[in-house]
Amino acid sequence: MEYINNATNGTISSAPGALNKILCCECGVPIEPNASNMCVPCLRSHVDITENIPKQAVIFFCRNCERYLNPPNEWVQCSLESKELLSLCLKRLQGLRQVKLVDAGFVWTEPHSKRIKVKLTVHGEVMSDVVLQQVFVVEFTVNNQMCDDCHRTEAKDFWRCMVTVRQKAVNRKTLFYLEQMILKHKAHENTLGIKPNTGGLDFFYATDAHARKMVDFLQAVLPVKVTNSKKLISHDIHSNSYNYKYSYAVDIVPVSKGSLVCLMAEVQNMAFWKTPFEAICNPKQMIEFVVMDVEIIRESERKTFPGQGPLSHRHSLADVWVVKASELGINDNTIHVKSHLGNLLKPGDSVLGYDLREANINNADFEKLNAEVVPDVLLIKKSYDKTVRKQSRNWKLKHLNEDVVVDTDIENEYNEFLEDLEEDPELRQNVNIFKDKNKQIPVDTNDMDDPSIPRITLEEMLDDLVLEDEEMGEV
């Protein structure tokens, strides 16, 4: 027969059908019969089932990375009053294995007190067939201790592996896009440090495994080529141990969004590095044209050929007549071109494109093309007022390094990348876009300066989480 001691009210409850009451052998108080013949207070004065469980303990917290130490050497991310933190605290109580844990929960403490209190309910068997229940509180003191990763960061020579990402392109749009994908998928969690460099980024790691994980991520999201090397730092002849530093050089294909290339077929990643090619025109060579007239080409009038692949439903093929913006009003040199932007363009719009008649192209594949099939002008994208777009932009992006100072050219390229996100819904699927609290979000199209400007909807934006600690006032 089992008897449960309820420490909250100090009583022993017996099973149904108990016998007549007896007197406690210690104090003489009438009680229900039990194997010890003692009342609850007398039994507790003789036996304490929690005597081997410490009522105070210490856990260690790294203020730099905000992680807790999970002995012996693992650092884990835990929020206050989470089940992960509760599990970590229970592991610190060695004597807990001698009793049966029934319930555990946090007792509220002031967040800045560096104290964590856990209320435990345990069962323990004493004497013969007698089970006591006891509720008690264990107080954990949170001590600050720098983790190994943060300690290496503070040292001069802290990293063991480095991943360098480079792209030999005329703009940094691909690198901006890569930065947002890294943030979205949290691929930089194990990174000790991130340093922007000319034409790319440098990532530093404590172990080779973490560096390889980043390299695998880069290979999965972009067409890249990876070369690795190692450098011997030290060698212990007695233990035959070697200390190396590893380096991974990641080269991104030197073609960015908006570049013009001359291809005869689809090119895979490995095939490109075997026979690399360059862009014949880059986005900085685009010039502005003014649309004079647009005529949509019907489906029945389109020319088809075997193997042409799937057709895009986001665009409309059209005959477009344009004039260079610099020649508008001076002479009437109207240029006819077929364009995929028929659904976006209307007379009077501005559009950016390449003028192949005046472009200085030095490419062997381009010279093999029949001059009769090469268009005079290629229209790339519709142009909008950059000032209006920047002022009406009510969203923002996060960065790996928020304190980086950029020059005017990089800032212009970054604004062009933001414009690409607004114009391409598929491109921003891999990007976390946050609401800008400093900008007012229009609730009606009548509140917009230009409703035709591409915008990101409110449903696609995330709320930026900002944790602000208020100072405590005097009591």
pLDDT attached to residue 15: 44
Q: Are 201 and 227 in contact (CB under 8 A)?
A: no
State which H helix or E strand residue 208 sits in.
Answer: helix 208-221
Indicate if 265 and 375 belong to the same structural domain: yes
pLDDT tens, position by position, 317-337: 999 999 999 888 777 789 999
Indicate if 438 and 425 belong to the same structural domain: yes
Indicate if 378 and 289 belong to the same structural domain: yes
pLDDT tens, position by position, 375-396: 999 999 999 988 888 888 889 9
pLDDT attached to residue 157: 56
Going through 297-394 in order, the beta strands assigned E by DSSP cover: 318-324, 335-339, 350-355, 377-383
Assigned domain for 19 exists: no
pLDDT attached to residue 243: 78
What backbone torsions phi and psi does residue 393 show, to the nearest 5 degrees?
-75, 115
The total of other beta-carbon atoms located within 10 Å of residue 239's CB is 7
pLDDT tens, position by position, 399-444: 887 655 556 778 888 999 999 999 888 888 889 999 888 877 655 5
pLDDT attached to residue 441: 62
On the question of pLDDT at 8 being above 60, the answer is: no
Going through 282-349 in order, the beta strands assigned E by DSSP cover: 287-296, 318-324, 335-339
268 burial level (CB within 10 Å; 0-12, 13-18, 19+): exposed
Indicate if 351 and 415 belong to the same structural domain: no
344 burial level (CB within 10 Å; 0-12, 13-18, 19+): buried
Assigned domain for 12 exists: no
Indicate if 206 and 141 belong to the same structural domain: no
Instruction: Give the tokens for residue 271.
Output: 């095939």
Assigned domain for 438 exists: yes
Provide the domain count of the chain.
4
Indicate if 243 and 350 belong to the same structural domain: no
pLDDT attached to residue 164: 94
Assigned domain for 470 exists: no
At which of 90, 119, 148 does a domain end? 148
Q: Are 449 and 384 in contact (CB under 8 A)?
A: no
Q: Measured between alpha carbons, how far is residue 233 from residues 157, 230, 241, 433 in Å?
A: 11, 9, 11, 43
Which residue blocks in 47-147 are alpha helix, DSSP H? 83-91
CATH code at position 114: 3.10.450
Find residue 182's DSSP bridge partners. none
d(CA 376, CA 358): 9
Indicate if 345 and 405 belong to the same structural domain: no
Q: Are 73 and 63 in contact (CB under 8 A)?
A: no
Nearest to 441 by CA among 433, 264, 92: 433
Assigned domain for 292 exists: yes
At which of 148, 180, 214 does a domain end? 148
Q: Are strands 200-205 and 193-197 parallel, antiparallel or unpaired?
A: antiparallel
Q: Measured between alpha carbons, how far is residue 439 from residues 250, 454, 457 in Å?
A: 38, 17, 14
Indicate if 363 and 398 belong to the same structural domain: no
pLDDT attached to residue 7: 38
Indicate if 266 and 366 belong to the same structural domain: yes
Indicate if 377 and 401 belong to the same structural domain: no
d(CA 355, CA 378): 7
Indicate if 453 and 368 belong to the same structural domain: no
At which of 85, 118, 148 does a domain end? 148
Mean pLDDT value of segment 119-138 = 83
Indicate if 98 and 81 belong to the same structural domain: yes
Assigned domain for 377 exists: yes
CATH code at position 374: 2.40.50
Determine the structural domain holding residue 93 and report its residue range: 50-148
Assigned domain for 236 exists: yes
Residues with Cβ within 8 Å of 231's Cβ and at least 6 positions away in sequence, in order, are: 244, 245, 247
pLDDT attached to residue 293: 94
Handedness of CA 95, 97, 100, 102 (dihedral sign): positive
d(CA 153, CA 443): 46
With a pLDDT cut of 90, the percent of the chain lying above it is 31
Assigned domain for 10 exists: no
Mean pLDDT (the chain, rounded): 83
Q: What is the SS3 assignment for 41? A: helix
Instruction: Give the tokens for residue 237.
Output: 């002849």
